[in-house]
């Protein structure tokens, strides 16, 4: 949850030890609701269940980002914006005024049902899905992709989407 918010707090000097290169993305197909399936641990997302991100185009050509979830029985919502860049699969996202950080789509399935997202730093990783669960073979393919890029998938935290 709060993917874009997380990315905004990235350090400008983080050392990259992974392949976080992006893939081409059809933005119109990427828009809409995504469920956060797994993520690296960060304070701004800690203990957040039922995490989703919703992306929609707003009038000025930017993208509205609405992250939501539940923490301790309370609803949490964060609204931000993203800018399209000249690099396919790379958005610049902000939840804090003029401060933008990378949102890197590193893998998306041809049907736009599943995605692997990272940032400029190797400390951020998310597995996203259009549904609250991923078939095991698809999940294994995403994990394999993340590992092949140098990410430690044992650090992933699985987001609760059911009672």
- CATH code (residue 85): 2.40.128.20
Which stretch of 41-45, 69-73, 107-111 has the lowest confidence by average pLDDT? 41-45
Q: How far is CA 64 from CA 2, 82, 93, 117, in A?
A: 13, 6, 9, 17
**Is it the case that residue 33 has pLDDT exceeding 90?**
yes
7-16 CB burial, b ≥16 within 10 A, e <16: bbbbeeeeee
Within a 13 Å sphere around the CA of 13, how many CA atoms are in the beta-carbon half?
Answer: 0
Structure tokens at 104: 């890197």
**pLDDT-derived band at 16, boundaries 50, 70, 90:** low
**Is it the case that residue 4 has pLDDT exceeding 70?**
no
**pLDDT-derived band at 15, boundaries 50, 70, 90:** low
Which stretch of 1-10, 48-57, 106-115 has the lowest confidence by average pLDDT? 1-10
* 163 in a structural domain: no
Domain range holding 111?
3-158
**Is it the case that residue 7 has pLDDT exceeding 60?**
no
**How many domains is the chain partitioned into structurally?**
1
């Amino acid at each position: 949850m709060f993917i874009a918010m997380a990315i905004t707090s990235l350090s400008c000097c983080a050392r990259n030890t992974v392949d976080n290169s992006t893939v081409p993305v059809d933005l119109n197909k990427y828009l809409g609701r995504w469920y956060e399936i797994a993520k690296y641990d960060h304070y701004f997302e800690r203990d957040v269940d039922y995490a989703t991100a919703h992306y929609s185009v707003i009038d000025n050509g930017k993208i509205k980002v609405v992250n939501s979830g539940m923490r301790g029985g309370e609803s949490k919502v964060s609204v931000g914006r993203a800018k399209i860049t000249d690099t396919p699969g790379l958005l610049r996202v902000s939840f804090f005024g003029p401060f933008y950080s990378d949102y890197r789509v590193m893998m998306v399935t041809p049907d736009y049902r599943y995605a692997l997202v990272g940032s400029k730093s190797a400390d951020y990783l998310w597995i996203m899905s259009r549904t609250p669960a991923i078939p095991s073979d698809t999940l294994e393919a995403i994990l394999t992709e993340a590992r092949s890029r140098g990410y430690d998938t044992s650090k992933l935290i699985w987001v609760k989407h059911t009672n």
